[in-house]
Amino acid sequence: MQVGSLAAALGQALVLAASAAKGQAAPATPAAKAAPAPAPAAVAGPPVPAAPQAPWKILEPGLELVELDGPPSDAAEGRITVVRVDPARFDLRLLAASAPGEGQTRTARAWAYRAGASVAINAAMYQEDYRTSVSLMRSADHVNQRRLSKDKAVLAFDPLVSGVPVVRIVDRDCERLEDAAARYATLVQSIRMISCDRKNVWAPSERRYSAAAIGVDRAGRVLFIHARTPWPIHDLVDALLAAPLDLVQAMYVEGGPEAQLFVRGGGKELERFGTFENADTNARAWPVPNVIAAVPKKPPGK
């Protein structure tokens, strides 16, 4: 028996039973089946909130800027500046005063203009000679520092093989640096802020600093990060993880008045530089020996 016939027969049986219970004669079977009652309308659930989005300002294709609130746990006011760079449109370069043909320190702005770059940020902390990084720093054609320190994060770019990300951060607690060293020409070591499993690994402390940092997001884009306000770095990392940046790893590259970021694009320029831990008195960008710069890729055929 088909489902419709079964339902009709069952309905007629229920009518007969009800009439018998009341001592009434059962009504005659209708000549035609009544149309089935419409299904009740679905009850709408509560709306699902959309994931928050950072208010990115597009400076030019592949180059975006956003200013974010600082750590909510700290009373110090200030903003976090983040520049997002698409490595499909920009090449990263390590620029160093120790490289052949250089020989002098420069502000991030001056390094950017010298290299034709759209963005420049500190590469890593440096020694008292104002040339040499405190940790491993090398490019395809120049070695600034051969020594591998205890620091856990290494920015790797300039791939030597196909099938690997153009830019990434190697977490030495999660993989062997030797493997990445065979795949990338440029390696810059510094202090890990966010681990490979997206954890804040900066130890809590009352000390506070201006900070420059480099991160990568889930889509493989590079984030250049600067905070002038001296916050505890652990709190700054928490704020970055909570922000709608899709940030997956990050490393600290400089602190204090030396920390700086410069970006230009779409006819606009922005320069950020740090200040002192206990006095917001620094009013200029300091010359630094090493920066990471983002240079626009040349169109094919040029």
> For position 249, what pLDDT does the model report?
98
> For position 47, what pLDDT does the model report?
52
- CA 49 from chain centre, in angstroms, equals 22
Alpha-carbon span 15 to 29, nearest angstrom: 10
pTM over 0.75: yes
Residues 254 and 108 sit within 8 Å (Cβ to Cβ): no
- Mean pLDDT (whole number) for 193-199: 98
In angstroms, what CA-CA distances link 105 with 143, 245, 277? 17, 32, 23
> For position 48, what pLDDT does the model report?
45
Q: What is the pLDDT of residues 74-94, one digit of tens each?
A: 878 899 999 999 999 999 999
> For position 302, what pLDDT does the model report?
65
Answer positive or negative: Cα dihedral of 214, 102, 256, 56: negative
